Amino acid sequence: MFYYLILHGLQRIEGQRSPAAIYHLLQGRRSAQTIQDGNLYQLSEYFACYPTLSRADFNHGIVQLIEKDWIKVTAENLVYLTGKSHSFLNKYSQSFPLHYLHGGNYARAVPLFMKRIYLAIQTYTHLSVNNRNFDPIIDDYSVQNWIKSHYQQNRYQLKEWLIQLYDSLNGFLITLDSYSAELFVKRITAYQRIGATIQQLAWQNNCSIHDIEIRLMAIFQHLLFHIDQHHLELFYPLTDYPFSTNVGFMTASAQKTYQMLKHGWSKDNIASRRGLRPSTVEDHIVEIVYADPAFQLSAFIDEKSIGQILEAIKVIQDHKLSSIKAFLNHQFSYFQIRLVLARYDKDKKKGNEV
């Protein structure tokens, strides 16, 4: 799954970005450029699917792909796939549950949610049989303290809570492929049951640690999606994910710009007040367009201009900013083109005409 994601990502950006763009996407770099790359190349679902991935491990993977003659890297550090990699992608296109990945919508919530649910299951299954003699599998003190607080709120309904959790998780697991469901269960530590380590799961399934890490992250992202879709309120306290909002992922800095825009601040005034470059605020606004389907572009570009840029995109079938700008005789700014691209990509994902 690890190499499939890298190759699929490289295929999407082929000849337009360096391999580092894929690393930052998989690792979940919280930058405007990474978020825009994810949306522009329709890879946003991959965002932060492997947050613990090191640059060294990613670069090692790229070197291996080069040595196997699966990719070619130019002197400008741009990547092109060979026939071997295209064959691999076609052969395994249905082998991995990529639809479990939901990217920016849930990626930020998964690491904390994963720790809390693992520790809650271990703690409550032991306490439900009055066994306090166990070592917490999560050594994060903030998570341990959170579980203690949560326990105090649920201590008198502990068995009912566990039954409800079991039923809810069982309802989720039957929606997964059998391999993913088995991985999820094997990882759990409970009373008289020791969960498997990542290394053990990799050895048992004859795959890499990278594959297991990504698969588990995908499962938990899909679990959050399942919770969101079915309004499973039992899980809400276990995660800080804002289930009630329809706005997608934004960097913290973009969120501040978003709030200022909603209070009537202009783009230039925001840059001046926050001590930012105007181009940085423009990056934020493009993020906002991707994250909020209801955000209006009218303050930055009129409907006629939107139509002209959209027509150019459809005619030249190219998302390169320079190509679109040149086709339109340089009458629009890069910022305006990026805004329209953001709205165009967002609407195209939903299957709507722009």
Q: Dump the DSSP string for 236-305.
A: GGG----TT-------HHHHHHHHHHHTT--HHHHHHHHT--HHHHHHHHHHHHHH-TT---TTT--HHH
Run of H or E residues at 67:
helix 55-67
pLDDT (mean) for 196-221: 95
What residue segments make up the domains of the chain, in order of their start? Answer: 2-96, 107-238, 252-350
Predicted local distance difference test score (pLDDT) of residue 352:
47
Q: How confident is the model at residue 165 (pLDDT cuts 50, 70, 90)?
A: very high
Contact 48, 27 (CB under 8 A): yes
Q: Which two tokens stand for residue 140?
A: 């994060």
Query: CA-to-CA distance for 31 and 35, rounded, in angstroms?
Result: 6
Question: Is 329 a residue whose pLDDT tops 80?
Answer: yes
Spatial neighbors of 123 by CB under 8 A, at least 6 apart, are: 134, 136, 147, 151
pLDDT (mean) for 283-303: 87
Spatial neighbors of 267 by CB under 8 A, at least 6 apart, are: 278, 281, 282, 285, 299, 300
2-96 and 252-350 share one CATH topology?
yes
Query: CA-to-CA distance for 50 and 5, rounded, in angstroms?
Result: 10
The CATH number of the structural domain formed by 2-96 is: 1.10.10.10
Q: Which two tokens stand for residue 210?
A: 């990278």
Q: pTM score > 0.85 for this model?
A: no
Question: Is 245 a residue whose pLDDT tops 60?
Answer: no
Residue from 4, 37, 29 nearest 345 by CA? 37
Q: Is 116 exposed, middle or buried (0-12, 13-18, 19+ CB in 10 A)?
A: buried
Query: CA-to-CA distance for 233 and 196, rounded, in angstroms?
Result: 28
Any idea what DSSP says for residue 193?
B
Predicted local distance difference test score (pLDDT) of residue 77:
85
Q: How confident is the model at residue 353 (pLDDT cuts 50, 70, 90)?
A: very low
Predicted local distance difference test score (pLDDT) of residue 50:
92
Spatial neighbors of 275 by CB under 8 A, at least 6 apart, are: none
Residue from 83, 58, 51 nearest 3 by CA? 58
Query: CA-to-CA distance for 169 and 351, rounded, in angstroms?
Result: 31
Residue with tokens 């059998």: 178
How far CA 28 is from CA of 218, 281, 329, in Å, comes to 14, 21, 36
Question: Is 226 a residue whose pLDDT tops 90?
Answer: yes
The CATH number fitting domain 252-350, selected from 1.10.10, 2.20.25, 3.20.20, 1.10.287: 1.10.10
Any idea what DSSP says for residue 107?
G
Query: Helix crossing, 334-350 with 32-40: angle to 10°?
Result: 50
Query: Which of helix, strand or coil describes residue 49?
Result: coil
Beta bridge pairs of residue 80: 72
Q: How confident is the model at residue 249 (pLDDT cuts 50, 70, 90)?
A: low
Phi and psi for 80 in degrees, rounded to 5?
-135, 140
Percent of the chain with pLDDT over 70: 94
Q: Is 207 left (phi over 0), alpha (psi -120 to 50) or beta?
A: beta
Amino acid at 185: V
Phi and psi for 197 in degrees, rounded to 5?
-80, 165
Query: Helix crossing, 303-316 with 334-350: angle to 10°?
Result: 70
Q: pLDDT tens across 70-124, in order?
A: 999 888 888 889 999 899 998 888 888 889 998 876 887 899 999 999 999 999 9
Question: Is 349 a residue whose pLDDT tops 70?
Answer: no
Predicted local distance difference test score (pLDDT) of residue 354:
42
pLDDT (mean) for 277-282: 90
Predicted local distance difference test score (pLDDT) of residue 253:
82
Contact 113, 169 (CB under 8 A): no
